[in-house]
Amino acid sequence: MSSEWIRAEWPAPAGIIAGTTTRRGGVSDGNYRSMNLGDHVGDDAACVAENRRRFVAGCGLDAEPDWLTQVHGTAVRVAGNAAPREADAAVAREPGATVAVLTADCLPMLLCADSGDEIAAIHAGWRGLAAGVVGATLANMRTPPGRLLAWFGPAISQPAFEVGDEVRAAFVAGDAGAKACFLPNERGRWQADLYALARRQLEAAGVGGVHGGGLCTVGDSERFFSYRRDGQCGRMATFIHRCR
Structural domains of the chain sorted by starting position, each given as residue range(s) with its CATH number in brackets: 5-242 (3.60.140.10)
Query: What's the pLDDT score for residue 225?
Result: 98
Between CA 199 and CA 107, with CA 205 as vertex, the angle to 5 degrees is 35
- Rounded to the nearest 5 degrees, what angle is found at the Cα of 127, between the Cα atoms of 35 and 147? 80
pTM greater than the 0.75 cutoff: yes
Give the Cα separation of 111 and 103 in Å (integer).
16
Give the per-residue pLDDT at 2. 57
Sequence-distant (6+) residues with CB within 8 A of 81 are: none
pLDDT of residue 208: 79
Low-confidence ranges of the chain (pLDDT < 70): 1-3, 82-83
Residue 168 pLDDT: 98
Give the Cα separation of 45 and 172 in Å (integer): 41
pLDDT at 6: 97
In this prediction, residue 152 carries a pLDDT of 98
